[in-house]
Amino acid sequence: MAMTLELKTLSLQSAAQEKADLLLVLVPQAEAGQQQEPKTQAAENEGAAALRQLLQQAQQSGDFEPAKLGNQLALYSVAQVAARKVLLLGVAQARPAQLCKAIEGVAAQLRQKGVKKAVVLALGDAAQDDAAVQALARALSAAAYCYRHTKPSEPEVSLQKIVLGVASKARAQAAFEQALGVAAGIALARELGNLPANHATPTRLAQTARELAKAKGISVKVHAQRELERLKMGAFLAVAQGSAQPPQLIELHYQGAPKTQPPVVLVGKGVTFDTGGISIKPAAGMDEMKFDMCGAASVLGVFQALARLQPRINVVGLVPATENMPGGKAVKPGDVVTSMSGQTIEVLNTDAEGRLILCDALSYAARFKPSAVIDIATLTGACVIALGGVRSGVFASDDALAQALLQAGEAAQDLGWRMPLDDDYGQGLKSAFADMANVAGREAGAVTAAKFLQKFAGDWPWAHLDIAGTAWKSGNAKGATGRPVGLLMHYLLGLATAQAAEAAPQRKPASPGGQTSKAGKKPAKSPPTSKARTAAKRT
């Protein structure tokens, strides 16, 4: 993407002098009171005075209410202001989640034809801390994203440059740079997720991984069919056998810390299209099953961010990638397959394929003696019903890991919610013909899927993120969200900081974005999406 996001120290005065197509002024409610105060400083130029007066009058008249999140007032050709258009935007208390929402609300104006350069001036509290700066940087990057790969007729966003103006560039710099790295990862995850399944094939995902491996600290291995057979990944291969596309197990390594430090292993579900296989899905909304590789996309997105940010940590990324197709060679209901772990699985429903490819990747993770394993998967329609598109399901065998992931989600505005793993939930997975079945009954489907995975999780802290509801949006805003790259990166960067502090206890490194926020998010009040319908229909 061509858009660059730049951080700059800006006052009202210097912001008024910035030549731009749009001057977006973020006004927190606290700032409203301050604007009433007559300015004592004599050095203020006409531009600053003009903006100050504008803010005052707009609020006094009631035309603009900064306390109302997303409230807007647009003005053209304001005297003494160099920008063509001035847009006042209310950001209420300027909490990170509010800043994100407010920016989302003006994304269309940022992408408007003819807007090449935008200056975003964060007044007072609007950039009060690292969390606010990061929220702004992420939201502004996201606002500039536009899918064009298979729609070249889509007019290119003309936006080339956004200047984010804050009171002190020096103070905000580290948090800003971090957010840009994360934003690059989110953008890659969105783009891969959005690509149609005839483009984003397993082979193409492997190619993307190879490109990522050109960066410092990153290496890649791709295991093809023969190697998967040698590894005895019978569950993964059973899913792949119905597809004409060759399966790929992508293995990425990022080394930012000494080799002796055990890595975090990320495992991403890479079903590039999920027809359901012989247990075929209904036609309505099936196109959305191209998003069934969003777990994989998030792992690749994390590696993109690691490449940019180079934190002191070791990470392994594993992506089993395949299609799930029906056909003469496809796995059938009742078939029994032997997983890499040696445990046998009766495939009662070929549409429960995600767990079949993940279980072998989880077994493979053992060889890295990981400090933690986290799998990320669009695993169950049941999770969409349980949590919708607001929070990802967080399952974890380890309370500390669960807490760390939930906190990272809060900090990154990429929320999760802890789900249970009581052993009783696993009862339904019993099989008369194998060590386990791949499905249980209809009840608590997201939990029984997690219980299945847990049988392969090994002795280290393990977490499973069910992102079926959060990885993409349905309806007229259909598209991948890039979640949970933000959550994962916050977790990993926090870990890097903690490990550095352990190694050198005398120094206390700053941790940008460590703040949490209460995000009082409302669920969308739209009619049931095709995603919800598809999810609800499955029996």
Closest to 398 in 3D by CA, of 464, 331, 300 = 464
- Catalytic residue, candidates 204, 281, 290, 531: 281
Residue 288 makes contact with Zn ion by CB under 5 A: no
Part of the chain binding ligand BES (CB under 6 A), chosen from 53-61, 123-131, 347-355, 457-465: 347-355
Q: How far is CA 319 from CA 9, 252, 298, in A?
A: 42, 8, 10
Of the candidates 164, 177, 131, the one whose C-alpha atom is nearest the C-alpha of residue 26 is 164
Interacting residues of 391 by C-beta distance below 8 A, sequence separation 6+? 409, 415, 416, 417, 469, 470
In the complex with Mn ion, the residue whose CB is nearer, 176 or 456, is: 456
**For Zn ion, which is the closer residue by CB, 264 or 532?**
532
129 binds ligand BES (CB under 6 A): no
Task: Give the residue with the Cβ less far from Zn ion, 179 or 465.
Answer: 465
Q: Are the beta carbons of 318 and 368 closer than 8 angstroms?
A: no
347 CA to centre of own chain: 31
Determine, following the binding rule CB under 6 A, whether residue 381 of this chain makes contact with ligand BES.
Answer: yes
Instruction: Give which of ligand BES, Mn ion, Zn ion, none residue 380 binds (C-beta under 5 to 8 Å, depending on kind).
Output: ligand BES
Q: Where are the beta strands (DSSP E) in 193-235?
A: 218-223
**Which one is catalytic: 290, 355, 451, 483?**
355
Q: In the chain, helix, strand, coil percent, each to 5? A: 40, 20, 40
User: Binding residue for ligand BES (CB under 6 A) from 21, 274, 323, 346?
Assistant: 274
Q: In the complex, which residues of this chain contact Mn ion (CB under 5 A)?
A: 274, 351, 353
**Which of 255, 454 has the CB closer to ligand BES?**
454
Residue 446 is a binding residue for Zn ion (CB under 5 A): no
372 binds Zn ion (CB under 5 A): no
**Binding residues among 287-316 for ligand BES as defined by CB under 6 A:** 292
Binding residue for Zn ion (CB under 5 A) from 18, 130, 274, 410?
Answer: 274
Decide: is 437 part of the binding site for ligand BES (CB under 6 A).
Answer: no
Look-up: residue for tokens 């160099």? Answer: 82
Cβ contact 495:302 at 8 Å: no
**How many Cβ atoms are within 10 Å of 62's Cβ, its own excluded?**
7
Taking the C-alpha atoms of residue 193 and residue 170, their distance in angstroms, rounded to an integer, is: 35
Minimum Å gap between C-beta 205 and Mn ion is 18
Question: Is 355 among the catalytic positions?
Answer: yes
Question: Is 221 known to be catalytic?
Answer: no
Q: Which residue in the block uniquely carries the two structure tokens 């309806």?
A: 475
Considering the rule CB under 6 A, would residue 534 count as an interface residue with ligand BES? yes
Please, are residues 245 and 197 in contact by the beta-carbon 8 Å criterion? no
Which residue, 19 or 332, is less far from Mn ion as judged by CB?
332
Residues marked active site are found at 281, 355
Which residues here bind Zn ion, judged by CB under 5 A?
Answer: 271, 274, 292, 354
Tell me which residues touch ligand BES (CB under 6 A): 274, 292, 349, 351-354, 378-382, 384, 439, 445, 468, 531, 534-535, 538
